[in-house]
Structure 1
Amino acid sequence: MITSSRPSWRRLSSYGLASLGVLIELTGCTFEVAIELDQQAETFVQAPLDQVDVLWVIDDTATMAGAQEQLIEQFGSFAEVLDGAGIGYQMEVVTTSSGPWDGEGWSPDTSDEAIYTAEWGSAGSFAERLRVGTSGSDKERGLSAALLALTVDGGEPPEAPRLVREDADLLVVFVTDEDDCSDDGALSDDSPTSCYTSQERLVPVGEIVEALIDVHDDVNRVLVAGILGTEASGCPDVYPGTRYQRVARATGGWVADICGEDWSGALERLGAHATGLRDSFRLQRAAEPGSVAVYVDQLELFEDPQEGFTYDPETWLVRFAPDAVPARGATIRIEYVRDMSRFVPAY
């Protein structure tokens, strides 16, 4: 017979190793065995942002004319939230054509000045820049286009400014009806269908996620979202953006269905994220499923996808339900037992 005097782990020390006594009775003999639990606690603050950099990556292929117009028409839902927060923002748009195609050169910039700032007026005035045309490369390399815009001091043209500021959080938004084909040149001589039939030759998603995180060296300051094709999309000529979805999931982001007629809710949610209202936080270490305890301003929330939070053991993300997202200024404390079998999050 095995009996346990195991107390609630939440009453153990917040950091370091906590010993737990277990009594084992065998053939009339009793032994006490010490089991060590690696107890962890992390604290986050839902602080309003002072600065945010927003990169829009728009598909510029022939099937995207309608989607671009829909984005422009409904962009006010995003702009209203951003303007209302009164923060110092920068925005830039690039296309999924991340390099030269057909010998024609690079995808053109959409204005004389690539980066739009809050000093120029309403965020709504940025919307016209999202009409990037439909003559782009039929191999949509959106992920590599984003990295090019975020990590290169220069590029094409050489005097192009760098979007990322050290004191600003980063939001990257992809709008496309195809999956990513970032191949680092591996498929340059192949047809566009190879983007789907030869995905093993594409740049691994994990490498792209790590590169995005390295922009700020903190995953909780980088969020990726998208208006994409999903597995449930029912409109023609739309394909699931699975690679984009994996990057969004790894950073605590989300995707909306590009086939939807009303994107205003998704754009409003993007605006909330841009102003610092996060609904997910990634832990520094893996947690044992079932061991996670979450406190918002010292009030405990329960693990419940509808009214509390969920924990993803693959990405180490704690995500709050829509009605449980901590308010601005809230302090979030997350306690958990470390999962010693996981050392790297899965992407």
Structure 2
Amino acid sequence: MKATTIKFSLILSLLVSFVSCQEQEFYEKEFLEGVGVEKPTPNNDDGNTGDVDPNVDPDVDPDPNVDPDPDPDPGICGGGELQNASDTFNQNTGQAQKVDILWVIDNSGSMTEEQQSLASNFDTFIQDFITKEIDFKMAITTTDPRDAHNGNMVGNPDDLTSAAAKADEAKFLNDFSNYVQVGINGYGREKGFQTSASFMTKYPTFVREDALLVVVYLSDEEEQSSGSVSDYLQGFQSLKANAGMFKAFSIVMLPTDTAQNQWETVGSRYIELAEQSGGTASSIQEDFHTVLGDMGGTIVNLLTSFPLSGVPANADITVEVDGTVKEDGWHYDEVTRSIVFDNGHIPDAGSIVIVYYYQCGGS
């Protein structure tokens, strides 16, 4: 983890020398530079950067040991072509499953009710984590990109861990409830991607090498950071050795929701990041008890599955456990893009699991 963090930080720092900029620009560009994004150009009122084009090829294995039949679906990739890909996992059921969760809360003037709903229903989200003794830690930041707030941690992260919950569950729940009500005096142009990227740059030790990384966004307006969704997706995925170990979840206005106020807008970019990462997007207008319960259950299930780094282009997937191809006892979850083993077929601790599949590459 130290080598990965150092390498990531060195790459990120290259962008800083290009231009003198405000603090919020620095953290956003430093994060995006980590995935090879070219230097952006300022174009808006608060000194943030313009859209940029990534130049990152998907990580594929050109010659995996188990090779599905070549080109089974010609034309499925449009102008591109099918490429062999594989992901390797070391089954670790002998240890507690780990997850790092960052909550990104909209602190603009319209969010009082939603913050209160999150605070009062959080127990439905976290209960499975506690009862199943999952090793979790959480942190909170806001969507405010201004210098004094951009990606800053809210509250004491030591209060938001599985150890804290085990020591005093009532205090743990109360601390989260207090911290997550971040107020409504934030900047009116919500930039959750920028602030969550800045958080990762400011607090690199938050991300544990062997933990699932989850970012949860809560907002009633569209995301307004300057980089593209794919830029941020690649940036978050680059923090993990296996890109599938990053998932975004969003509680936002969905296209099917009806705006109750003029400032409520569909969170298209939040939805896109969730879908592209294999997370889920939920309606901010739904009952938070249900939304948070479902979200927590999905994350817990991810901890016992094998998230793929790419998106299979078809159903031709091969699963190998300790050198033996498994014809049954597992299924592919399209929503979370994960291999899930059925009860009675879960690999033993220490097993090597390799998943071979096709994904679409460039033309």
User: Above 0.5 in TM-score?
Assistant: yes
Cα distance 1:127–1:274, how it changes in 2: closer, same or farther (>3 A)?
A: farther
Q: Give, in angstroms, the shift of residue 326 of structure 1.
A: 4.8
Cα distance 1:40–1:247, how it changes in 2: closer, same or farther (>3 A)?
A: closer
Separation of aligned partners in 2, 1:131 and 1:253: 24
Q: Give, in angstroms, the shift of residue 80 of structure 1.
A: 0.9
Q: Give, in angstroms, the shift of residue 228 of structure 1.
A: 0.9
| Residue segments in structure 1 that go unaligned for 5+ positions in a row | 1-12, 21-36, 154-160, 183-201, 303-307
Q: Give, in angstroms, the shift of residue 84 of structure 1.
A: 1.2
* Preserved CA contact (<8 Å) 1:294 1:301: no
Q: Give, in angstroms, the shift of residue 99 of structure 1.
A: 2.0
**Residue equivalent to 1:15:** 66
**Residue equivalent to 1:189:** none
Work out the number of aligned pairs and report it: 271
What SS class does the counterpart of residue 265 from structure 2 fall into?
coil
Residue 173 of structure 2, aligned match among 124, 139, 144: 124
Deviations along 1:2-42, one digit per CA (max 9) or x if unpaired, are xxxxxxxxxxx95258689xxxxxxxxxxxxxxxx976665
**Residue equivalent to 1:232:** 256
Residue 251 of structure 1, aligned match among 277, 296, 316: 277
The structure number with the bigger radius of gyration is 1
Separation of aligned partners in 1, 2:276 and 2:92: 19
**Residue equivalent to 2:50:** none
Deviations along 1:69-106, one digit per CA (max 9) or x if unpaired, are 11111111112112112233211110000223xxxx43
Question: RMSD in angstroms over aligned alpha carbons?
Answer: 3.8
Q: Give the 5 Å matches for 1:84-233.
A: 84-100=131-147, 105-106=148-149, 110-111=154-155, 116-121=160-165, 122=169, 123-125=172-174, 126-153=176-203, 162-182=205-225, 202-233=226-257
* Preserved CA contact (<8 Å) 1:289 1:311: no
What SS class does the counterpart of residue 62 from structure 1 fall into?
coil
| Structure with the higher fraction of residues in helix conformation | 2
Separation of aligned partners in 2, 1:145 and 1:328: 43
Q: Give, in angstroms, the shift of residue 114 of structure 1.
A: 7.2
Higher relative contact order (CA 8 A, sep 6+): 2
Q: Give, in angstroms, the shift of residue 118 of structure 1.
A: 2.6
What SS class does the counterpart of residue 300 from structure 1 fall into?
coil
Cα distance 1:343–1:73, how it changes in 2: closer, same or farther (>3 A)?
A: same
TM-score, normalized by length of structure 2? 0.62
Separation of aligned partners in 1, 2:68 and 2:343: 32
* Preserved CA contact (<8 Å) 2:68 2:316: no
* Preserved CA contact (<8 Å) 1:97 1:137: yes
- 1:58 matched to 2:101: no
Percentage identity across paired residues of the two chains: 20
Deviations along 1:111-134, one digit per CA (max 9) or x if unpaired, are 356763233232523222110001
Deviations along 1:269-294, one digit per CA (max 9) or x if unpaired, are 3255157436773255x655343456
- 1:242 matched to 2:268: yes
Separation of aligned partners in 2, 1:78 and 1:310: 21
Q: Give, in angstroms, the shift of residue 171 of structure 1.
A: 1.2
Cα distance 1:172–1:148, how it changes in 2: closer, same or farther (>3 A)?
A: same
* Preserved CA contact (<8 Å) 1:40 1:335: yes
Deviations along 1:160-204, one digit per CA (max 9) or x if unpaired, are x8422233221110011111111xxxxxxxxxxxxxxxxxxx211
